[in-house]
Structure 1
């Protein structure tokens, strides 16, 4: 076999390994995850490999520090939630504010492809290209303060606020309350 055949090239190795690792459930990878697949190439060659994998359509850059393996064909409706969980894995985060209220019918119009989470990390808005935007709003609340007010949403891989808690978070974060349908909201308060 020729030493530079396709199977020994970094791109071939990267794609084969990702094809084995990836699934509809596991399709987001950090540069560190991907670096582990080709540890033997230089940093420069690795950066070139990542940008080539993206330009050839194998990997899509969701945001800084997160790539999506296109061949895994994930359910696009969950990419933002999964990306949020992955980006802030070390923080306490939960779906709240407009996203939680929209999902429970308390708010009817909500920008599509924009999700809102409370986070123990700092407030920030992260653009995720064609998938949309993740907005993290800082909270000092601790998990133990929210027992019974958040539940785990396995599909999203994140905690999710009850409508009561999401309404409290809206007030605490001084969000615009104009879109709230109080006839629905009052059922939860």
Structure 2
């Protein structure tokens, strides 16, 4: 069986147990272990052209036959992209969702990461901004909770505000005080 056919059959058969699952580029490697790295990249490119895979962002794909319907695709992609690093949702994303920031770009999330800083374009889905930190998880663990829907840790409002100061964010002036003067 040809590699593209093998990939197509696997994608179709695996959708019964998957609901809008994202895949890292390496996820399909075991289906075609005999391909060279260049041939494997060509296979992914052919699968995209044929409509078997949709590239969400660099190195992250989804099967268009069962796309992510959660509305959380940027968070899921961020978790995959930085799976080997300590990451947590923070800054404008947390403060905006808490109603403590007056403006927030649509389709943009901010994630603090021990990986390098980067802005990753996810095309029509939006942008993921990774902000590098040297902090260890043990330094902030009391301000984090795991958000299973987003597949990432999430900062509380206090840590998100502290991160705004720590990273000298230009949007810090958008943070609104509550009527009692607190954040």
Query: TM-score, length-normalised on structure 2?
Result: 0.89
RMSD after superposition: 1.9
Compute the displacement of 1:127 (Å).
0.8
The correspondence for 2:150, drawn from 148, 156, 163, is: 156
**Mean Cα deviation higher: 112-121 or 70-79:** 70-79
CA distance in 2, matches of 1:114, 1:150: 21
CA distance in 2, matches of 1:148, 1:18: 40
Matched residue SS, 2:150: coil
Tell me which stretches of 4 or more aligned residues in structure 1 moved more than 6 Å. Answer: none
Aligned to 1:86: 80
Query: TM-score, length-normalised on structure 1?
Result: 0.87
CA distance in 2, matches of 1:186, 1:13: 61
Q: How many residues align?
A: 180
Aligned to 1:110: 104
Deviations 1:39-72 (A, max 9, x none): 2345444333211211122211122222122122
Aligned to 1:59: 53
Q: Go from structure 1 to structure 2 and tell me whether the alpha carbon gap of 1:37 and 1:133 turns closer, same or farther (over 3 Å shift).
A: same
> For structure 2, which runs of at least 5 residues remain unmatched after alignment?
none
Deviations 1:73-106 (A, max 9, x none): 2125211101100111111100000001111111
Map 1:125-144 → 2, pairs under 5 A = 125-144=119-138
CA distance in 1, matches of 2:37, 2:62: 21
> For structure 1, which runs of at least 5 residues remain unmatched after alignment?
1-7
Q: Is the 8 A contact 1:106 1:185 kept in 2?
A: no
Matched residue SS, 1:181: coil
Aligned to 2:19: 24
Aligned to 1:3: none
